[in-house]
Structure 1
Amino acid sequence: MSAFWLLPVVAGLALLLTGVMRRYALSRSLMDIPNARSSHSQPTPRGGGVAIVVSFLAALPLLALHGLLPWPMLWAFLGAGGLAAGVGFLDDRSHVAPRWRLLAHFLAAFWLLAWVQGLPPLALLGRSLDLGGIGYVLAAFYLVWLLNLYNFMDGIDGIASMEAICVCLGGAVLYALIGQPLLALTPLLLVAAVAGFLYWNFPPARIFLGDSGSGFIGIVLGGLSLQAAWVDSRLLWGWLILLGVFLTDATLTLFRRLARGERILEAHRSHAYQVAARRYGAHLPVTLATGALTLCWLLPLAAWVALGDLDGLLGLALAYAPLGLLVMRETGVRT
């Protein structure tokens, strides 16, 4: 029995729940108030990402019951995603100390890795490389970094939603290319959930994701990439390529701030996408450019790697080099 009917249902549920969350945030004064480091100018409700969490997680057991999602992946997403979203929602409502947030993030990562069985052997330069225990550690830091960078990159209207949609669409295409179209349902469910939310978050945004939504999307994307890696090790390179826009901007900006001796936990607006939004005087062009780069530049390279016609490490270098230059050019402009 096909489960593709779940996609419009999940999108509709996320659409309705986001409206409910917006009314809840307004009634409880859960507002994102602009400050000197913000990229928006009007107080805006936050916490809308809860709608994505609920609609996506509620649909996963149906996939598992139909044999379209392995049960270990179900428990991985429920536990890790729920924990990331829960601590994020607490932080949205009040404030959770950074050390406790980080502890929760690592617990979520290790929970996910326990069910996924860590990092599979990597396809590297024509050979298979098994990292063993080191692979678990690297995968944990990868998941925690994705979780946090998604929060850092959720700074202008629609950009985090656009990235999630385009990356997961790309991941679904990769599954289809290797002859596993039914496995595409899980990333497509996240596409549907985020699309329902994007109706409210599209520039000009009427509600923001909040830490609950951004952290959840970050760790789920990491989990999806590891799930794909166990299907075919080349797919991990494909997912890393698809995530290139956010990974290059967040990582290079972090290193530049460290080199300048800045406090990396302090809010700022020096990411390339933030600089670009100020340059254009609008969020929409940058949000659309994020999607265009992912689908038009990164997806073809990811597909090339997934089909085995290009080495994964070389594909990653080809994908990231121009993105890195773009980030360096934008962040080198002082505004």
Structure 2
Amino acid sequence: MLDQPGQRRSHSAPTPRGGGIGVVVAVLACLPGSLLWLPPSLPSATVAAASIGLVLVAAIGWWDDHHALPVLPRLAVQLAAIGLVAFAFIATGMAWAWLPLLLLAGVGSINLHNFMDGIDGLLAQQAMFVMLAMAWLAWREEQAALAAAAGVVALACVGFWVFNRAPARIFMGDVGSGAMGYLIFVIGAMLWRTDSALIWPVAILCGAFVTDAGWTLAGRMWRGRRWYSAHREHLYQWLVRKGAGHGRVGLAYAAWNVLVLAPLAWLAWHLKEQGWWVCAVSYLLTSGMWMMLKRRCLRREPYRVLYVGS
């Protein structure tokens, strides 16, 4: 499977895609054992639901990598995968009222990370950052099983990043990007189940991707475009189009994560239930930076013409 260059692509040479299957296989080999054998272990039904859901999301992504699928079949499988995890949570005491929110957040995470997988190494490094940070949060909360599970995903992403960093020798494909969005949601939701206040640092850690995807898609919907179709309007794509290399753009996202979002996530974790206001501040700061950089990308006339016509 070769991903060919094109008007809505950010690479210039045919590159194999679908390499994310390696991450999925590695995680499936190690994740269940981490969650079942380390203390405090999770219920077997929850672990089984999470594993089956990962297989479903990866399988529909692999199929889409081979043969383009319409939106509805992909959405149905993604809802089924998230639904399995949500029902496992409900079976262990979660209120039914949370079901719609979990479905929305889970499917949103899968597709958000798929949208953000557009340049070399960006999604792999984002998953490494978020998973390592969630492993630290779990460890501080004395959740060794969740810490190991997040660490497993992070290490699998490190192995893939070696081949995916700029210039990429292989792309993750939908099989990997969807799986990364699913895993970030599932492990984040498991942390939330142990302590509801952990939702704030987890949300902060995901802020760079959520802001870029959220504002970009909101703009496309406002202009009446098909938000789910391929495009090059995300900030990271604009930065590449303006002349920054894939590696430099990835480094900029990593710097924002480490220098801004990580300290704010620590503060939100330290404040517990009061962490909501730190989360709000982090998204205000990230949105402000996004708007400033996007405005700079649009300042020159050639890029404004490309933006209008894309």
Q: Is the shorter-chain TM-score for this pair beyond 0.5, marking a shared fold?
A: yes
Instruction: Supply the distance in 2 between the matched residues of 1:267 and 1:285 (Cα, whole angstroms).
Output: 23
- C-alpha offsets along residues 235-268 of structure 1, whole Å, 9 cap, x if unaligned? 1111111000111110111111111111212211
Q: Is this contact kept in 2: 1:242–1:294, CA < 8 A?
A: yes
Q: Is this contact kept in 1: 2:35–2:145, CA < 8 A?
A: no
- In structure 2, runs of 5+ residues without a counterpart are 304-310
| Aligned equivalent of 1:200 | 163
| Aligned equivalent of 2:34 | 63
| Aligned equivalent of 2:76 | 103
| Aligned equivalent of 1:12 | none
| Aligned equivalent of 1:125 | none
| 3-state SS of 1:311 partner | helix
- In structure 1, runs of 5+ residues without a counterpart are 1-29, 122-131
Match runs of 1:7-18 below 5 Å: none
| Aligned equivalent of 1:148 | 111
1:258 to 221, 224, 228: 221
Q: Is this contact kept in 1: 2:146–2:187, CA < 8 A?
A: no
Distance 1:118 1:256, change over 3 A: farther
2:30 aligned with 1:54, yes or no? no
| Aligned equivalent of 1:74 | 47
User: What is the TM-score of this pair, normalised by structure 1?
Assistant: 0.84
Q: Is this contact kept in 2: 1:241–1:298, CA < 8 A?
A: yes
Report the aligned-residue RMSD: 1.9
How far apart are residue 120 of structure 1 and its match?
Answer: 8.6
| Aligned equivalent of 1:94 | 67
How far apart are residue 195 of structure 1 and its match?
Answer: 0.6
| Aligned equivalent of 2:239 | 276
Q: Which has the higher helix share?
A: 2
Distance 1:246 1:120, change over 3 A: farther
1:175 to 117, 138, 141: 138
Distance 1:120 1:205, change over 3 A: farther
User: What is the TM-score of this pair, normalised by structure 2?
Assistant: 0.90
| Aligned equivalent of 2:307 | none
Identity %: 34
Q: Is this contact kept in 2: 1:304–1:310, CA < 8 A?
A: no
Match runs of 1:151-230 below 5 Å: 151-181=114-144, 183-230=146-193
2:220 aligned with 1:249, yes or no? no
Q: What amino acid is aligned across from residue 89 of structure 2 in structure 1?
A: V
Question: What is the aligned length?
Answer: 296
Q: Is this contact kept in 1: 2:16–2:169, CA < 8 A?
A: yes
